[in-house]
Structure 1
Amino acid sequence: MSLQNVDLKYKYRSDKDRIHADFYDKCLQEASQYDRAVGYFTSNSLSLIAKGLEAFFEKDGTIRMIVNPHLTFEDVEAIELGYKAKYDVISRALLRQIEMSEESIREDALNTLAWLIYQNKLEIKVAFTNNNSLYHEKFGVFYDKQGNRVAFSGSANETVGGMQNNFEKIDVFWRENDMERIEDMVVDFENLWSDKTNGLTIVEIPDILKETIIGYKKGGTPIKPPKQIIKPRPYQQEAIDAVVNNNWSGILEMATGTGKTITSLLISNEFFQQRGRIFLIIIVPFTHLVGQWEKNCQDMTYKNITNCFGAKKSWVNKLQTDVRDFNLGLIEKHVAITTYKTASSPEFNQLISKLRGKSFLIADECHYFGVKSLRDNMFGNIEAKLGLSATPDRWWDEEGTRYIEDFFGSTVYEYDMKMAIDNGALTEYIYTPYVMDMTDEEIGDYEKLTKRLIHLYSDEKANKEEISEVNRKRSLLISKAERKKELLFSIFAGKQKEEVSHTLVYCAPGEVNTITGELSSMGYRVHRFDSKVPLDEREKILEAFDLGSIQILVAIKCLDEGVDVPSTKVAYFLASTSNPREFVQRRGRILRKYPNKNLAQIYDFIVLPSNASDQMYKSIASKELPRFAEFSRYAINNFNARDVVGKELKRYSLEYLMDKLPWEVYNEFKKMEVLE
């Protein structure tokens, strides 16, 4: 299809034609690009040409528009008197128009405008004359993928009045003898867009306006996005083949950020293609991941989805009907998404156990599948079982790890961090370790807790819970070391504030308020991101972070698993447990690919207290350095990072600790337990 297929007239006039339906709509259905210079534009005009827009955006079409800012007399007066910069006046004038639109324009039209801008399908620039007169020309050009063009000019604005209500006329040019006119309009528009037109100044749509418009965006796009077929990357195809060849079972041990979710859904699609039917069960760690998986399922053509979490009355009856209809052959393709908490409930287990054939289980972050509450599950009849995790082994839980392997089978495909970085699936990164001391008070408290632990370990009747609690308090002393915050604040005090963006700060429990408050008082746009932030606000916060409206997010654990923040470029690790699952996943999230992101930076606050005894120094170093070993080995500045830490360790002859990876240390501890 192309613009050559459109039955065009040399003019359209309101006495005989419906300009929006007879011209705009038809051209949009065949075009792939639309350039428009216009005096006035309102979002409600989009609702008149919705049919054409739908076809237009299915072809991944884009619109470029030059508009007049609608300045009032007061705005013009302010410009003439030099009281305000033109750019600021225009921003306010346009904002005023958008605020009025919220009341006067139908909500869906404004939502459409918001989504077009948000998805970079509509670019708007603002034109104003250098003598403060009115910019009022009106012309446009449609393009298709074959290189055909249709140009037009006339009295119609890009408003409901211009398209439908007013008496308007436009002249249309598409024939061979119109080529000179068409080329002239193309050149005029390109000169406008690049701000090369005498007597006019063209500016980008102000960021403040763009953010305000996008703020009107609702949860779903009113215009169907282009239907894109997701094709597996070579490494994803290898994972698919590995699972298929292992009788539809196994664990994908893939680095965080490399697309485990999409890979698993591609595998489920392959299962459907081969078996003809599928009832897909997806288990996720947290409720906020249910919606994320639902969206991914929709992108992979799954339409019938039941979310099972929260109050049982909200999902039990629906799931019961879904299982019954699937067993009767009334539905061929269905998805149930749940959390590990709900998956362990008797109601969910009983319903899933009734499934008859062609069922497929995906366990996201499958290390959670080893929890005791799930070991008596009734999922044994499920035909295909797939576990996903960058770190499937459970930390200090051998029994749980064995159960995971017994249920899913062993790892059938591995795609580690080095492979992902080398293949361009993840971003390269610079790793900067900061070596920290502890205060004398912190050293004293750490020594007391160590003595208490020694006493407990020597007591055969010691309470394991008390041992765990003392260990937790001792670890927290390192996580909350006062010198970390002092250094963090001095770093940010020395930065140019507007150059800071897309930055994460991981801190210890109980320190979010302190760090957020201090950074805010310095003038940074900072927001907390922890369990106290309501689920319905998290998406808005992450969206503002992507846009740069929020410069810094301060988090504890909420960004550890499943939450996508690919725009992150810089991360500060003030606190982290010794569990590699936590810090490995945090690193993976920071290294996700994102437009204009070529390099990530990780700053790690490592406690190596020079004011401690040699024995305490070694004990703390043994806990802190496995993270250093893991982070430094794939960093592009590996040797520089090792030089910084090596100098500190040399005095104690502990340089070998820089090469001790987390699981190596873990296995050494396990061997020591056996020997004891």
Structure 2
Amino acid sequence: MPDATLAFEDGTLRVEADPALDLPHTEADARSKTRRAPAFRYAALREHLDERGLSYEDRVLDAPDLPDVASSYELRAYQRDALSAWEEAGRRGVLELPTGSGKTVIGLKAIEDLQVATLVVVPTIDLLEQWRRELEAEFGIPVGQLGGGEQTVEPLTVSTYDSAYLRADELGDRFGLAVFDEVHHLGGEGYRDIARLLAAPARMGLTATFERPDGAHEVVADLVGEKAYAIDPDDLAGEHLAPYDIKRLEVELTAEERERYEAANEVFTNYLASSNIRMQSGSDYQELVKRSGSDPRAREALLAKQRAREVMMNSDAKVDALEGILADHRGDRVIVFTAHNDLVYRLSERFLLPAITHQTGTAERREILERFREGTYSRVVTSNVLDEGVDVPDANVAVVLSGSGSEREFTQRLGRILRPTDDDRPALLYEVVTAETAEERVAERRR
């Protein structure tokens, strides 16, 4: 008789064992008169049993066999280092590499090395289609798809986070490896359950920026593994990524814009002074939002902050600065980033730039990006929609007219211009900041 029996049941591990064993991560289940553990504790529980020399019957994984797969890719030195670090961490952990450095290739090599059924989880339909195309091209086998109007499961399957969330308890025993692309998304409240309900003992997270401002990366580290490897864009620039430079341009508000900005900012700061809210963290901002539901002064302060933000981020001088940048880079491929759709459409109309926002249909967006790729278009203006999760054609100039204080957002935008070009042109990122406004602090935070 084995000392314990492990089985998968609806996203949990059902553990039959003598209560005196005191197995970690488990708790008594009065209904089944067994013990239970979250499915993601499968590897840790098995390791504990092995270390104590206890015998156990393992019925957890019901994963189909993966046909022998092999990739034609040859890993670069830093990609080999990343994969080795993940292996040494027990085939668990997060790999942090810049956009354009070939994170997908590392994931493919992990699948090739392990030769087990694998689920790849991605945040967007664009990434889902990219991964599926790449896997089918490299391995030559059918690839399942969960999302984008399709629900097929194969030993090798790609899923959106949304679809994986809906089906993780059902499919949690079908895969030996789970690869989470843009793994920082897994820190979201609902998405965490995907990793909790999967039993896959091998787990890999891929991202350009792991840490989240809300601290949720600590949850991801528990579910997927700690950061096992990280490399900065600076370490790859000039050899594997394009060399790059960042230029910060400061512009001034007009007299009329300055008056509107100061008036709105005064309403906001006066309320803070009288309310003991110091705005030193995200929780302070959430407190202000909470109060705005019942306090008219808090609501007016919140609206005033938004008005001030719109003035500084959409100033006339920024538009003029962009005009000069576009004139200086007539022969370059340029992506212009803004924080607001209104400014996207304003710039699109003034400079006749193709525009991509969240309101742009999938077919239109693909057509614009394809024309950008083939050179019909040399400039594109966008809001946050191209920051991640979309295969953006090579560009060598980025202009950040406005954005948040997020280091992740800044890193992703920089990454859009770091793929090496045939002529080895250096990449250039312009950061246009409105002087003597809160945007100066925002720019410092993201850097």
Deviation at 1:462, TM superposition (A): 5.2
Deviation at 1:410, TM superposition (A): 0.9
Residue-by-residue CA offset, 1:442-492 (whole Å, 9 max, x unaligned) = 232233233334445449985437479556555444322332113223544
Q: Which residue of the partner structure matches residue 283 of structure 1?
A: 121
Q: 1:458 to 1:598 in 2, by over 3 A?
A: closer
Deviation at 1:279, TM superposition (A): 1.7
Deviation at 1:504, TM superposition (A): 0.8
Deviation at 1:415, TM superposition (A): 1.5
Q: Which residue of the partner structure matches residue 513 of structure 1?
A: 345
2:314 is aligned with 1:480: yes
Q: 1:402 aligns with which of 211, 218, 236?
A: 218
Deviation at 1:552, TM superposition (A): 0.9
Deviation at 1:566, TM superposition (A): 4.5
2:128 is aligned with 1:308: no
Partners of 2:124 and 2:180 in 1: how far apart? 12
Q: 1:383 to 1:542 in 2, by over 3 A?
A: same
Tell whether the 8 Å contact from 2:433 to 2:439 is kept in structure 1 after alignment.
no
Q: Which residue of the partner structure matches residue 38 of structure 2?
A: none
Deviation at 1:249, TM superposition (A): 0.8
Structure 1: unaligned runs, 5 residues or longer: 1-226, 273-277, 323-333, 521-525, 610-616, 631-676
Tell whether the 8 Å contact from 1:282 to 1:337 is kept in structure 2 after alignment.
yes
SS in 2 for 1:403: helix
Partners of 1:280 and 1:527 in 2: how far apart? 38
RMSD across aligned positions (CA): 2.6
Partners of 1:360 and 1:295 in 2: how far apart? 19
Deviation at 1:392, TM superposition (A): 0.9
SS in 2 for 1:558: helix
Partners of 1:584 and 1:481 in 2: how far apart? 24
* Residue-pair matches, total: 357
Q: 1:451 aligns with which of 270, 274, 285?
A: 270
Q: Which has the higher helix share?
A: 1
Residue-by-residue CA offset, 1:221-280 (whole Å, 9 max, x unaligned) = xxxxxx9821111111111111122221100011222111111111121111xxxxx221
Q: Which residue of the partner structure matches residue 623 of structure 1?
A: 442
Partners of 2:417 and 2:220 in 1: how far apart? 27
2:134 is aligned with 1:296: yes
One-letter amino acid of the structure 2 residue matched with residue 296 of structure 1:
E
Tell whether the 8 Å contact from 1:385 to 1:408 is kept in structure 2 after alignment.
yes
One-letter amino acid of the structure 2 residue matched with residue 479 of structure 1:
M
One-letter amino acid of the structure 2 residue matched with residue 354 of structure 1:
D
Tell whether the 8 Å contact from 1:456 to 1:462 is kept in structure 2 after alignment.
no
One-letter amino acid of the structure 2 residue matched with residue 487 of structure 1:
A
Partners of 1:335 and 1:247 in 2: how far apart? 21
Partners of 2:402 and 2:428 in 1: how far apart? 16
One-letter amino acid of the structure 2 residue matched with residue 406 of structure 1:
D
Deviation at 1:426, TM superposition (A): 0.9
Partners of 2:367 and 2:424 in 1: how far apart? 22
Q: Which residue of the partner structure matches residue 426 of structure 1?
A: 241
Tell whether the 8 Å contact from 1:502 to 1:546 is kept in structure 2 after alignment.
no
Q: Which residue of the partner structure matches residue 668 of structure 1?
A: none
Partners of 2:212 and 2:241 in 1: how far apart? 25
Deviation at 1:605, TM superposition (A): 0.3
One-letter amino acid of the structure 2 residue matched with residue 391 of structure 1:
T
Q: 1:474 to 1:538 in 2, by over 3 A?
A: same
> What's the TM-score, normalizing by structure 1?
0.50
SS in 2 for 1:511: helix
Tell whether the 8 Å contact from 1:255 to 1:416 is kept in structure 2 after alignment.
yes
Q: 1:342 aligns with which of 160, 163, 172?
A: 163
Q: 1:559 to 1:361 in 2, by over 3 A?
A: same
Q: Which residue of the partner structure matches residue 376 of structure 1?
A: 193
2:433 is aligned with 1:588: no
One-letter amino acid of the structure 2 residue matched with residue 508 of structure 1:
A
Partners of 1:543 and 1:380 in 2: how far apart? 37
Residue-by-residue CA offset, 1:626-672 (whole Å, 9 max, x unaligned) = 34xx3xxxxxxxxxxxxxxxxxxxxxxxxxxxxxxxxxxxxxxxxxx
Tell whether the 8 Å contact from 1:393 to 1:401 is kept in structure 2 after alignment.
yes
Deviation at 1:564, TM superposition (A): 3.0
Deviation at 1:501, TM superposition (A): 3.7
Q: Give the share of equivalent positions with the same residue, in percent.
A: 24
One-letter amino acid of the structure 2 residue matched with residue 622 of structure 1:
R
Residue-by-residue CA offset, 1:63-97 (whole Å, 9 max, x unaligned) = xxxxxxxxxxxxxxxxxxxxxxxxxxxxxxxxxxx
Mark the structure with the bigger radius of gyration.
1
2:63 is aligned with 1:246: no
Tell whether the 8 Å contact from 2:75 to 2:106 is kept in structure 1 after alignment.
yes
SS in 1 for 2:270: helix
Partners of 1:463 and 1:456 in 2: how far apart? 13
More relative contact order in 1 or in 2 (CA 8 Å, sep 6+)? 2
Q: Which residue of the partner structure matches residue 556 of structure 1?
A: 383
One-letter amino acid of the structure 2 residue matched with residue 431 of structure 1:
I
2:78 is aligned with 1:235: yes
Tell whether the 8 Å contact from 2:347 to 2:381 is kept in structure 1 after alignment.
yes
Tell whether the 8 Å contact from 1:527 to 1:554 is kept in structure 2 after alignment.
yes
One-letter amino acid of the structure 2 residue matched with residue 337 of structure 1:
V
Tell whether the 8 Å contact from 1:566 to 1:590 is kept in structure 2 after alignment.
no
Q: 1:245 to 1:268 in 2, by over 3 A?
A: same
Partners of 2:95 and 2:291 in 1: how far apart? 34
Deviation at 1:298, TM superposition (A): 2.0
Partners of 2:291 and 2:419 in 1: how far apart? 38
SS in 1 for 2:399: strand
2:232 is aligned with 1:416: yes
Q: 1:263 aligns with which of 78, 90, 106?
A: 106
Q: 1:456 to 1:305 in 2, by over 3 A?
A: farther
SS in 1 for 2:135: helix
Partners of 2:435 and 2:226 in 1: how far apart? 38
SS in 2 for 1:601: strand
Partners of 2:382 and 2:187 in 1: how far apart? 26
SS in 2 for 1:427: coil
Partners of 1:282 and 1:472 in 2: how far apart? 39
Residue-by-residue CA offset, 1:523-567 (whole Å, 9 max, x unaligned) = xxx311222222233333222112221121001112111323352
One-letter amino acid of the structure 2 residue matched with residue 579 of structure 1:
S
Structure 2: unaligned runs, 5 residues or longer: 1-69, 279-283, 293-297
Partners of 2:273 and 2:366 in 1: how far apart? 46
Q: Which residue of the partner structure matches residue 489 of structure 1?
A: 323
Residue-by-residue CA offset, 1:322-341 (whole Å, 9 max, x unaligned) = 4xxxxxxxxxxx22211122
